[in-house]
Structures are given as C-alpha cells and as structure tokens.
A and B are shown apart, each in its own frame.
Chain A
Amino acid sequence: MATKLIPKELAKKPDRLSPGHRLCAGCAAPIVVRQMLAAIDDPVVLANATGCLEVATTIYPYTAWRVPWIHNAFENAASTIAGVETAYRSLVRQGKIPERNVKFIAFGGDGGTYDIGFQALSGALERGHQFLYVCYNNEAYMNTGIQRSGATPLGAHTTTSPAGTVVPGKQQMRKDLTAIIAAHDIPYVAQAAPTQWKDLMEKTRKAVNCGGPAFLNVLASCNRGWRHETYETLEITQLAVDTCYWPLYEVENGVWRLTYKPKEKLPVEEWLKRQGRFRHLFRPENRHLIDELQAEVDRRWERLLFLCGEK
C-alpha cells in the first residue's frame, strides 16, 4: 500500500534530503525535492546536474542525501541516469543483483535542462529509459549568479540580460520546454508547482510508475534571482499558477489534461509586480513588454485549453 498523500502520514516518513544542506533560505528547490521524494515509497537512485541543488547538498566531506546520488557534470544528468538505469536493468536481468523496484530520477535546473543538457535529455527520452527527469525551474542560471537561460521570461532582468537604458531585460520569450518534451511522445509529461503539493506528489507517482521515461517541469522560485523576500516564495509561485503564466497540467500517453484551473485568471502583472527582476517593466516606456508577455501567456493558455479539451 502506498503511503496516503495526507500530511499526517507523509510526516512520518524520514526525509530523503536531510536538513543541514546549504541551499538559501527561501529557495524552492529543496521543497520540490522533499515533496517529490516523499511521494515515492520505493527505493530511489538520483542523478543531479551541476547547479545549486548539487553544490549546496554535497560539499565534501558532507552530504545531505540519504539516498544514492550521483553528480557527473552539467549537461549530462539524463545520460548519467540512463547509464545507471541501464546498469540496474542489466544486472537484474543477469541475476547479478536482486530486483528492488528502484526508481531512477534526475534533477536539473533550467540551465541544465532547457539549454546545455537538452540534447542528452532528448536522447535519453527517445531511447525509452525508465526514469523521471525533473527540471526544477527557477528561470535562470542562479548558481552562477543569475544569468539568462532559455527558460527566462521576456523582460526579466538577469546579469546577462540586464535591464539597461537601451535594452530593458531579456528580449526573447521563454522556450515551451514541457510541450517540446511532450512531442517526444513519452508516457508521462507534466508541469507542476510546489504550492499545489498534492498535485505535484500525484504527478510524481504517476511519473515513476508510467513504465517509461517521464518528465516533470516544476516551477521553483529563487528569491535571489527573482528578487523577493524569502518568505514570499510560495505566494509568488502560486501567483504564477493563478495568472496562468505557469499552468498545471499533464500529458499522459498523449492525452493532455489540465490538473488545476484558477477560479479567476489573474493578470500576469499581479505576478510580475511582486518581483524585483521585472521592476523596470513598470516604467512607462517598458509597459509594452508587460502587454506582450500578457498576450503570450493568453495565447499559450488558450492553446493549452484547446489541447486539454477544455475548448
């Protein structure tokens, strides 16, 4: 019997990521990781791309991981876990080790997933390895000090897309990676957020039990990069969901389904105005960028509603 997804039961489970790691106060990444790993009762083996989660949890001679964990490099979490998973299946098939129903999970930030690790991820998905790839998406290279990535939204200030007097932040829209991964026609793809914890945990369970490759894109605010107070992390994350900037949905065996529909779709401005990285957009000469971003959010939301059979 799987542990019921109720706080009273989940709280009894030992944490697989221990306290004492050195991630910043207010970082959403460990919240995502702990929720996801609590959703799984089976043994897990993890791979981690280079990034905040990696450097802050394994400063030798310490480790915060109470489960097997490997870091190889930045762009190869998917191919590394593919090697681990293949070794497992091979050794089990040959009778060299017992079958333990082990779940294989790779964690990467958006830099390691949308950008530099994209090829390795695409290849591993196509080959059909049984693993879950999780992108904890804070929308920039936060580990190296907030540089733009393919996940950084239009207009955001980063240190490589600074809001200057001539160029007001990032000039391009973010890549729709979840849809790109869905186009790989793997058994399970979903978008999630740690504020909707039950939704995230249910998706995690589906993902690790889908019998093939799975992908979860989880929005994970970085208060250092997004520029907000540490206690605002979840509130601001939920605003991304309620403005439909970050819709929660899943694609299960090719069937798109919305898993959360805000009662009232808020203007994207409600999310933007809470973050210092968008402050310059509220100057009169830059307001058009907010309109453009809103139009993009609306367009993507409408398309999603259509794909999910809601329209």
Chain B
Amino acid sequence: MSKYEALTGDQAVATAMRQINPDVVAAYPITPQTETVEFFAEYVANGEVTTDFICVESEHSAMSACVGASAAGARVMTATSSQGLALMWEIVYIAASYRCPIVMSLVNRALSGPINIHCDHSDVMGARDSGWIILFSENNQEAYDNVIQAVRIAEHPDVLLPVMVCQDGFITSHSMERVEVYDDADVKAFVGIYRPERSLLDVDSPMTYGALHFYDYYYESKRQQAEAMEHARRVIPEVTEEFNRKFNRNYGLFEAYRLDDADVAVVVANSTAGTAKIVVDSLRAQGLKVGLLKPRVFRPFPAKELAEALRHLKAIAVMDRSIAFGYLNGAGPLFIELTAALALHGVHVPIADYVFGLGGRDIKPSEIESVYRDMLRVAETGRVERLVTPLSVRE
C-alpha cells in the first residue's frame, strides 16, 4: 500500500533512493542538494539500505567513483547541483561514453559567477550535450517518480546511459509537499535486480575499460552512443507506460495542460510549470484560450512530438531559466532547441522567448500572465514584437 507523506523535494529523492537501495552511492554535499545526501547517510547509518556510501572529497571524485563502481557492475546513484556538476563535468561525459547506467539527482542551481545558491537551469543546460538522458520534474512527486523510472531507463540493455533527474533548487528541493510514497516492495519490484552483461570484476574474463580510441575508432564509439540515445526514445515511453499502469500516474514525454483547444501556449520546465497552470486556469476562467506545455524528457529531445503538440497554436512563448550566451540577445537554450524542432517539422507559429528566474529570482503569476497577454496579442496580429524578453530585470 502506498501512503502519503510530507516530504521536501530532496527528501523525496532520498526516499526513492532508499527504496531503490543501490549498491553504491558516491556523493558530495552541495546546496541545495545537501539534504538528499544527509537523508541517505542516515538510511545507511540506520541500516535501512544495504548500500555502500562513499562520502567523497569532491564531486569530481563522486562521479569518478560512480564510473568505477558502475563498471564493476554495481547499481550506482549520486546527486549534485550547479558547481558540483561543473566540477564533475569531465567525468559526466566519460560516464555517458562508458555507458554507465548511473542515476543522478540534479537539483538545479545557478552556476557561478557571481556565486548564487538559488535556482536556475544554467547547470543542466550546460550538460545537455553530455550524452545523459535528462528528465525534468515539476514537483516533489515528479522528482520521486522520475528517479524510480530513471533506474529502469538507464539500465535497459538497449540504452545503458546515465540519467539525470532535475528539479528546482529550493523551490521544490526545500519545499514540503504531499508525496505519494509507494510501497517499498512495489518500488523494488518495479526497478528489479540489476544484472549487468559485463563487469570489470569478472576476473576470469578480464575486460579493458576506457581504451584509447584514435581517429580510426573514436567516431564509431560516439555513433553507438548516439544510437543508444535513439533507443531511449522507444524505451522511455515503455518504462513510463509500465510505471503509469503500476502506480496510477499519467506521465508522457511532456505534459500538455489545456493545450488541445488553446490558441496560445507557454512552454516551461520544472516548478514554474506549476505556477503557470494556475495562470492558465485563471485566464481560462476569463474565456481566454490558453494552454501550457511542460517538457519532461529533455534528452533525448522529443522534437517531432513537441512540434505536433504545438502545431495548432497561433502563438508560443518559451520560458527559459538560463541564457545561451551569444546565440541571440540573451535567449535561452530551450527556445533555441524548440525553434529548431518546429522549423524542422514545418510548424510556422510565431514564437518568442522570455528569460526569467535567473539566480532564483521569483516568478510571479502576474508575470506569467503578462507573457500570455503578449502572446494573445501576437495571435491576433501574427507578429512578434520582441523576440527575446528578459522578465523582471532592471535594465
């Protein structure tokens, strides 16, 4: 039987980790992920898991130990934020290329500098080409659910790629919410037992991991990685479907909220989508045909599905919580990727980008409403007045 508990986002992730009971966790504390590591250390100290917890001396060593443990055939998890992800960068790429099915909770926090401990998406956006599968979570429940699914996705023999599960630093990581926690046995049954095909610990048939690939083989190795990511396009919906059935959820590649008959929509990831839903409801009550698209699977990027879901609209606003410097007047990465996806699939809807919430700056319903109002005007005129708008910034 599942039960409802009041958990912070960090605690929800730690709870999922307890239920998954990985063989090895190697992690280093960093705000705002710290709570996850603390809770997990308690589970270890109290014998609630059989995991070996390596409390390393840096995030670089965290990911390095994860790669070593994963190559050795262990089920491995970790968690980090911002600078921690930046420090482990080098090994984040290696983890993906060595096809290590590591699951990492990434509690999104702005990258330095200037130093800031609060939420934005500059950390994950820098890792979007690292070869990791990336899932976004609007709230604590989704973070919990995504972590459980991530294990199955990562370890699928056709995939074997690491997965990072994102949630917004402080906004969800430190907010207590009602979370449906499934029965330990049900989670255990869902994630199953990890049986790696190969292991570094097989001393009877020794393997070499991480050989030097020159120009004669490097590209083939990268092609296999790209193919694995394509396989994930098939595997993620399969795993999600099974999860939905078992736990009575309704996840997809993204969430379309009152989108079907909408004229205009906002595309926004993580916690802000929750705020945007309130705005949608209030504008709908006024008879305005507005909707929302909340990406869940960001890597692999579901370009075609997104384009189809947005094809019928008269105006689209992307809301980006980070800047892709040098692309287009402070535009964000989600905008870049979505415009490319729409163009590729022949969807010609006026689109604009709103960059918001950097370094944890609050985003108010009134500001989101102003975005919808802009879009309703664009829908009428068919013309985007301002392609990139920085929201509530002193200029």
Binding site for B on A (CB under 8 A): 43-45, 47, 54-55, 58-63, 65-73, 75-76, 78-91, 93-94, 96-97, 100, 102, 119-120, 122-124, 126-127
Tell whether A73 pairs with B64 under 8 Å between CB atoms, given A68-B203, A102-B201.
yes
CA of A48 to CA of B94 in the docked complex: distance in angstroms?
A: 15
What 4 A-B pairs have minimum CB-CB distances, sorted nearest first?
A83-B68, A123-B57, A83-B65, A87-B72
Q: Which residues of A contact B211 (CB under 8 A)?
A: 58-63, 71
Q: Which residues of A contact B209 (CB under 8 A)?
A: 68-71
Minimal Cβ-Cβ distance residue in B for A122:
B57
Q: Is B212's CB under 8 angstroms from A90's CB? A: no
Q: How far is the CB of A230 from chain B (nearest CB, A)?
A: 23
Sorting the interface of chain B by its residue count into under 10, 10 to 19, 20 to 34 or 35 or more gives 35 or more
Q: Is A79's CB under 8 angstroms from B210's CB? A: no
Supply 12 A–B pairs (Cβ within 8 Å), ascending by A. Answer: A60-B213, A62-B211, A68-B201, A68-B208, A79-B56, A79-B62, A84-B201, A87-B201, A100-B203, A120-B64, A123-B58, A123-B61
Tell whether A82 pairs with B65 under 8 Å between CB atoms, given A45-B203, A119-B57.
yes
CA of A90 to CA of B26 in the docked complex: distance in angstroms?
A: 13
Q: Which residues of A contact B325 (CB under 8 A)?
A: none
CA of A65 to CA of B217 in the docked complex: distance in angstroms?
A: 19
B51 within 8 A of A: yes
Q: Is A83's CB under 8 angstroms from B212's CB? A: no
Q: Is A73's CB under 8 angstroms from B58's CB? A: no
B202 within 8 A of A: yes
Most buried by A among B51, B58, B211: B211
Partner of A72, one of B62, B64, B208: B64
Other than the given A79-B65, A122-B57, 4 more pairs (CB < 8 A) read A61-B211, A72-B210, A84-B71, A86-B69
CA of A111 to CA of B62 in the docked complex: distance in angstroms?
A: 21
Minimal Cβ-Cβ distance residue in B for A77:
B64
Q: Is A83's CB under 8 angstroms from B208's CB? A: no
Q: How far is the CB of B65 from chain A (nearest CB, A)?
A: 3
B379 within 8 A of A: no
B24 within 8 A of A: yes
CA of A93 to CA of B53 in the docked complex: distance in angstroms?
A: 13
Q: Which residues of B contact A73 (CB under 8 A)?
A: 64, 90-91, 94
Partner of A82, one of B50, B68, B70, B210: B68
B114 within 8 A of A: no
Q: Is A70's CB under 8 angstroms from B74's CB? A: no
Partner of A91, one of B201, B207, B217: B201
Minimal Cβ-Cβ distance residue in B for A69:
B208
Q: Is B210's CB under 8 angstroms from A70's CB? A: yes
Most buried by B among A60, A67, A80: A80
Q: Which residues of A contact B47 (CB under 8 A)?
A: none
Q: Which residues of A contact B213 (CB under 8 A)?
A: 60
Tell whether A76 pairs with B64 under 8 Å between CB atoms, given A58-B208, A71-B210, A119-B57.
yes
Q: Is B208's CB under 8 angstroms from A65's CB? A: yes
Q: How far is the CB of A120 from chain B (nearest CB, A)?
A: 5
Partner of B68, one of A84, A100, A123: A84
Q: Which residues of A contact B55 (CB under 8 A)?
A: 127
CA of A54 to CA of B26 in the docked complex: distance in angstroms?
A: 25
Minimal Cβ-Cβ distance residue in A for B57:
A123
B200 within 8 A of A: yes
Tell whether A83 pairs with B201 under 8 Å between CB atoms, given A68-B206, A120-B57, A120-B64.
no
Q: Is A94's CB under 8 angstroms from B64's CB? A: no
Tell whether A90 pairs with B57 under 8 Å between CB atoms, given A67-B206, A80-B64.
no
Contacts of B236-289 to chain A: CB distance below 8 A: none
CA of A81 to CA of B64 in the docked complex: distance in angstroms?
A: 9
Mask for B156-169, Cβ within 8 A of A = 1, else 0? Answer: 00000000000000
Q: Is B54's CB under 8 angstroms from A83's CB? A: yes
Q: How far is the CB of A44 from chain B (nearest CB, A)?
A: 8
Tell whether A91 pairs with B74 under 8 Å between CB atoms, given A68-B201, A72-B210, A82-B54.
yes
Q: Is B74's CB under 8 angstroms from A90's CB? A: yes
Minimal Cβ-Cβ distance residue in A for B55:
A127
CA of A78 to CA of B65 in the docked complex: distance in angstroms?
A: 9
Q: Is B91's CB under 8 angstroms from A91's CB? A: no
Partner of B60, one of A54, A59, A76, A83: A76
B4 within 8 A of A: no
Q: How far is the CB of B197 from chain A (nearest CB, A)?
A: 15
Partner of A68, one of B54, B62, B91, B202: B202
Minimal Cβ-Cβ distance residue in A for B74:
A87
Q: How far is the CB of B360 from chain A (nearest CB, A)?
A: 30
CA of A168 to CA of B23 in the docked complex: distance in angstroms?
A: 54
CA of A71 to CA of B201 in the docked complex: distance in angstroms?
A: 14
Contacts of B65-84 to chain A: CB distance below 8 A: 65-74, 76
Q: Is B206's CB under 8 angstroms from A66's CB? A: yes
B52 within 8 A of A: yes
B214 within 8 A of A: yes
Q: Which residues of B contact A69 (CB under 8 A)?
A: 206-209
Q: Which residues of A contact B65 (CB under 8 A)?
A: 79-80, 82-83, 86
Q: Is A94's CB under 8 angstroms from B24's CB? A: no
CA of A58 to CA of B76 in the docked complex: distance in angstroms?
A: 26
Q: Which residues of B contact A71 (CB under 8 A)?
A: 209-212
Partner of B212, one of A54, A93, A102: A54
Q: Is A89's CB under 8 angstroms from B52's CB? A: yes
CA of A168 to CA of B337 in the docked complex: distance in angstroms?
A: 55
Q: Is B60's CB under 8 angstroms from A60's CB? A: no
Q: How far is the CB of A257 from chain B (nearest CB, A)?
A: 30
CA of A44 to CA of B26 in the docked complex: distance in angstroms?
A: 23
Q: Which residues of B contact A43 (CB under 8 A)?
A: 203
Q: Is A83's CB under 8 angstroms from B26's CB? A: yes
CA of A82 to CA of B52 in the docked complex: distance in angstroms?
A: 11
Q: Is B206's CB under 8 angstroms from A97's CB? A: no
